[in-house]
């Protein structure tokens, strides 16, 4: 049996997301799941999947959307603010420190080479993430067409994102709608 | 600090906030188009370095936006860009959570979630492709990126190790 669920207070919301902020390297969402479902028992697995779906369907930083949703659920708006503050506090301080160091040493050829190597890997990681998401997609032709058109529009034609979204979102949602009507 | 510049940053990132379908990574091509190609505020190398620093640092990948703001307008720029990035989408989330009970099971929401998934994938692949081009001025960089992809696709390898290896290779090989 799983231990019973726990209702976090504001301090616990801050602490939980603070820990995520300082420990999350390259991919926050798996850590959020572990913290909220396994370690602190705020929500169960099904609930988390629902939360994740909502956080990803809404625009903006996914993990912040989750922090807001969970904070509001347990402690209203103050809870959401505590969760977001916990999440952002340490990473903001760290990234601003790194930015200052970067400004200070950006003339250094050693730093330039190091960052160039780092950047090549970071680009490869992002491409791999896109490939991994693509492999998980249900096999259907409209999904491939939508993904390919979106890719070509932003990466090859370099069209403004707002135009791409204005064209692709209605098309994709209409296709999904037809699919749901055909096989509910 | 230039007030008009900060206003521009605030306005743009507030718009981006609502366009970040599937997360901040989807915005990379648009931010690049704006700050590198149109405004010339930074070079390709600086842009991809900032992305890499945000990836290597702890915390949400939204910190890339903080660094872009910093590069353009210092500390005020960093704060303005981050706030602009977070505020509109957070307000939207707040509103949706408020209304959620009514809409959570609705077919419209499921159609939106399903429809957006392939758009997100196209955007993520586009971001990856764009960064490959911005980060890799030489063939050695392309080789390093190409070696990263299969390793990243295997489960159980912490991406932090790959980033550390990349930094080390860049340093030793004098990229």
Residue A49: predicted pLDDT = 83
**What are the C-alpha distances in Å from A71 to residues A63, A66, A142?**
12, 8, 37
Cα dihedral angle (A11, A17, A23, A24), rounded to 10 degrees?
A: 180
Q: Provide the token pair at B17.
A: 């906030």
User: A37: which DSSP letter?
Assistant: I
Q: Provide the token pair at B100.
A: 């959620």
Residue from A98, A171, A140 nearest B66 by CA: A98
Ranges of residues in chain B whose predicted pLDDT is under 70: 1, 101-105
Which sign does the torsion angle of CA A119, B84, B21, A8 carry?
positive
CB-facing half-sphere around the CA of A184: CA atoms within 13 A:
4
Tell me which of A24, A67, A91, A119 to substitute to probe the interface with B (most B C-beta atoms closer than 10 Å).
A119
Q: What is the complex's ipTM, to 2 decimals?
A: 0.90
Looking at every residue in chain A, the average pLDDT score rounds to: 90
Contact A41, A5 (CB under 8 A): yes
**Chain B contact present for A11, CB below 8 A:** no
Residue A161 to residue B19, Cβ atoms within 8 A:
yes
Neighboring chain A residues of B134 at a CB cutoff of 8 Å: 119, 123
H/E stretch holding B106 reads none
- Taking only the tens place, the pLDDT of each residue in A86-130 is 999 999 999 999 999 998 888 899 999 999 999 999 999 999 989
Residue A98: predicted pLDDT = 93
Residue B144 to residue A124, Cβ atoms within 8 A:
yes
φ, ψ (nearest 5 deg) of residue A44: -95, 180
Residue from B94, B33, B121 nearest A81 by CA: B94
Neighboring chain B residues of A141 at a CB cutoff of 8 Å: none
B 99-128 residues inside an 8 A Cβ radius of A: 100, 104, 107, 109-128
φ, ψ (nearest 5 deg) of residue B95: -65, -45
Residue B19 to residue A59, Cβ atoms within 8 A:
yes
CB-facing half-sphere around the CA of B170: CA atoms within 13 A:
30
**Chain B contact present for A101, CB below 8 A:** no
- Mean pLDDT (whole number) for A134-143: 90
Residue from A120, A46, A12, A25 nearest B158 by CA: A25
Q: List A25's β-bridge partners, or say none.
A: B58
Which residue is closest to A167 within chain B, CA to CA?
B119
**Chain B contact present for A96, CB below 8 A:** yes
- Taking only the tens place, the pLDDT of each residue in A22-32 is 988 766 787 88
- Give the C-alpha separation, A92 to A116, whole Å: 23
Closest by Cβ to B160, choosing from A25, A55, A61: A25
Residue B102: predicted pLDDT = 61
**What are the C-alpha distances in Å from B38 to residues A126, A158, B1, B29, B105?**
24, 12, 21, 12, 43
Which residue is closest to B108 within chain A, CA to CA?
A177
| Domain spans of chain B, in order of start | 3-135
- Mean pLDDT (whole number) for A146-159: 95
Residue reference for tokens 């099971």: B105
Neighboring chain A residues of B36 at a CB cutoff of 8 Å: none
Report the predicted TM-score, pTM, of the whole model to 2 decimal places. Answer: 0.90
Cα dihedral angle (A132, A17, A61, A51), rounded to 10 degrees?
A: 70
φ, ψ (nearest 5 deg) of residue A25: -115, 125
Band (A184; pLDDT cuts 50, 70, 90): low
**Chain B contact present for A155, CB below 8 A:** yes
Residue A15 pLDDT > 80: yes
Ranges of H-type helices in B28-62: 28-32, 44-56
């Amino acid at each position: 049996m799983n231990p019973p669920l726990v209702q976090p207070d504001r301090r616990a919301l801050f602490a939980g997301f603070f820990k995520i902020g300082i420990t999350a390297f390259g991919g926050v969402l798996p850590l959020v799941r572990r913290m909220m479902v396994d370690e602190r028992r705020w929500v169960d697995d099904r609930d988390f999947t629902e939360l994740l779906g909502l956080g990803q369907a809404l625009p903006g930083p996914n993990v912040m959307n989750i922090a807001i949703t969970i904070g509001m659920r347990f402690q209203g708006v103050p809870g959401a603010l505590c969760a977001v503050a916990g999440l952002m506090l340490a990473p903001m301080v760290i990234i601003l420190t790194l930015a200052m160091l970067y400004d200070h040493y950006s003339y250094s050829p050693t730093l330039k080479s190091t960052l160039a190597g780092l950047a090549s890997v970071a680009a490869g990681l992002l491409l791999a993430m896109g490939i991994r998401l693509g492999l998980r997609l249900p096999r259907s032709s409209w999904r491939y067409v939508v993904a390919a058109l979106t890719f070509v529009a932003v990466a090859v034609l370099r069209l403004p994102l707002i135009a791409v979204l204005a064209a692709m979102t209605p098309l994709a949602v209409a296709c999904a709608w037809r699919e749901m009507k055909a096989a509910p | 600090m230039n007030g008009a510049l900060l206003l521009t940053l605030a306005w743009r990132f507030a718009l981006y906030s609502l366009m970040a379908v599937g997360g901040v990574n989807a915005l990379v091509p648009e931010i690049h188009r704006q700050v590198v190609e149109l405004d010339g505020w930074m070079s390709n190398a600086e842009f991809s370095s900032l992305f890499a620093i945000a990836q290597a640092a702890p915390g949400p990948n939204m910190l890339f936006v903080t660094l872009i703001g910093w590069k353009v307008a210092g500390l005020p720029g960093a704060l303005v860009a981050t706030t602009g990035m977070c505020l509109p989408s957070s307000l939207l989330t707040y509103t949706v959570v408020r209304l959620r009970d009514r809409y959570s099971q609705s077919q419209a929401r499921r159609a939106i979630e399903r429809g957006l998934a392939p758009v997100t994938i196209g955007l993520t692949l586009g971001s990856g492709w764009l960064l490959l081009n911005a980060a890799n001025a030489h063939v050695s960089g392309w080789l390093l990126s190409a070696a990263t992809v299969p390793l990243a696709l295997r489960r159980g390898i912490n991406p932090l190790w790959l980033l550390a290896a990349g930094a080390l290779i860049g340093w030793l090989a004098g990229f």
